[in-house]
Amino acid sequence: MTDQEKEIKQTKAELKEQLDLKAKEVEELNNKLVRLEKKQELSVPANEIATQFFNPAVWAQMKGMAEVFAKSGALPPDINMPKTLMAIQAGYEMGMKPIESIKSFYFVKGTLNIFGAALTRRLREHGWVISFKDEQNKCTVTVTKGNESYNDSLTFEEAVRSGWTKTASGGLKPGWFEGANRKLKLRYGALSLVIKTYLAEVLGSATDIAEVAVDATQVISGEITPDKKLSLDPEQASKPMTDAQIATIKSLGCEIEEEMTYGQAAEMIKSLASKKK
């Protein structure tokens, strides 16, 4: 072996020895880093650890914003800090910005609901195309994406029978006045039927469309009772009204201008009594 070959062999051996030492140093540093990370995890309170369900940094930011917004006086008086925070959180889960979240949600009897305008925006974001067919006191909605298509309709008569249209005293709610108000109510009502039946995931954290929930929840909670026809025997209903019915109608502040049947008088008493509540 020549002197040059001996020198090369020795150099290679020295380099290998240095590499082995470096590898051991790297391994020791990695082990030290792992020990430090474990120690750090043990020293951090559980409520400060980010998980797939909760991010403490984001939560703290949302709480700060909710507190400022609630104190600003720019929100309705019934929207307090916890409700504002809940709306921001629900919007965060659905990919909304804070102000958009506050504008998109509305609380009805303790349930979180999304406004119709915000829901239609979410449908479009999910790739759905929405079309409405407006008729006299009826609306049919169709939502389509690719080969999928869903539709449903709602009539004013169905809304009346469901108890959505009247106040507790029996009057027509302003939202159901004939014209643009009723048109919008029927649109969102039909859309609610489609969403809750076929595309519930679009609602996210919300329960229903706010414009629908504000009417339906009153019926569910018992504040308003759906209209029901009196169940009378046909023979009895066709008989002349009684003196007792006449006295009752007069006591309710109404004069009788024409002869009525027993059934007609019974319906009139029911209507007058509901307006007296």
What 3 state SS string does 68-84 have? Answer: HHHHCCCCCCCCCHHHH
Q: Which helix (H) or strand (E) holds 108?
A: strand 105-108
Mean pLDDT across the chain:
83
pLDDT the model gives residue 168: 79
* Biggest CA-to-CA distance, the chain: 137
pLDDT the model gives residue 82: 94
pLDDT the model gives residue 238: 75
In angstroms, the first-to-last Cα distance of the chain is 116
Q: Which of 135, 130, 140 is nearest to 193 (CA)?
A: 140
Q: Which helix (H) or strand (E) holds 153?
A: strand 148-155
- 222: tokens are 């018992």
pLDDT the model gives residue 277: 47
Amino acid at 36: L
pLDDT the model gives residue 220: 46
pLDDT the model gives residue 218: 58
Q: What is the mean pLDDT of each run of 10 residues along the chain (277 residues)?
A: 78 84 85 77 57 80 94 88 94 91 90 93 92 96 95 95 86 90 96 93 90 76 50 68 75 74 78 61
| CA distances to 2, 5, 258, 262 from 274, in Å | 118, 112, 22, 19
Each domain of the chain, given as residue ranges in start order, spans 56-108, 117-220, 234-276
- To the question of pTM greater than 0.85 for the whole model, the response is no
Q: How far is the C-alpha of 115 from the C-alpha of 211, rounded, in Å?
A: 7
